[in-house]
Amino acid sequence: MSKAVYFDLDGTLIDSIPDVHLCLATALTNAGRQPLPVHRVRPLVGGGVKIMVEQALVQTGDAVSTLQINEIAANFIAEYRKYPVRRTTIYPGGIKLLNDLYELAFGLAICTNKPRATTDPVMELLGLQRYFSLVCCGDEMTHQKPDGRHIRHMLKIMNLAADQVVMVGDSHNDVCAAYEAGVRSITVTYGYDANVLDHPNLDLVVDHLEEVPAILEKVWKQ
């Protein structure tokens, strides 16, 4: 039976908060808003750019309109495309894990709410693209995480059943999407969602990416 591992990107494989913070600060400043400190940006990541921008606007002023959200989101994306990797890093053990899974012929895919315009430059500059046969971005989905249809769409593309896939992520979006799609999930504890371990549908948990292969072995032996 073919097996595949789907990875969330931000907060799971890469720590992108430093660059997201810088680009969001520029977008907010250009809109006449005060930039947020990095610790307040961290929990905003994971739901997609427009959700992040809307929450940032709520925190920096009273009036929030769809036009404002769209304009600042576009400004953020343009800034991020220019400067995708200034301070972003791959989490410890990430490259070794991908190499090991790739050599074992696991199918590898990215399941992210990040838009395509910023996902591709980040992955390319970090040397991650070569590992993944599919990268499924949030702005290309009718239904994105936490909706399980994001993952089910990927299963259809890769011609896989739910029991052939494990989702690795850091947030309630990942846990919810995996649960709704009938896919087992592994949650990393170091990510951006401080409350993810309280999620009622939490499945498997690791503190480090190096622990993932042992968990996968147990899942597929069951």
Q: Name 121's Cβ contacts closer than 8 Å, sequence gap at least 6.
A: 80, 81, 84, 85
The verdict on whether 8 is a catalytic residue reads yes
From the list 159, 162, 137, 163, the residue with the least C-alpha distance to 150 is: 137
Of 8, 15, 170, 174, catalytic: 8
Question: How do 107-111 and 4-7 pair as beta strands?
Answer: parallel
From the list 116, 99, 117, the residue with the least C-alpha distance to 108 is: 99
Dmax of the chain from CA atoms?
Answer: 56
* Active-site residue list: 8
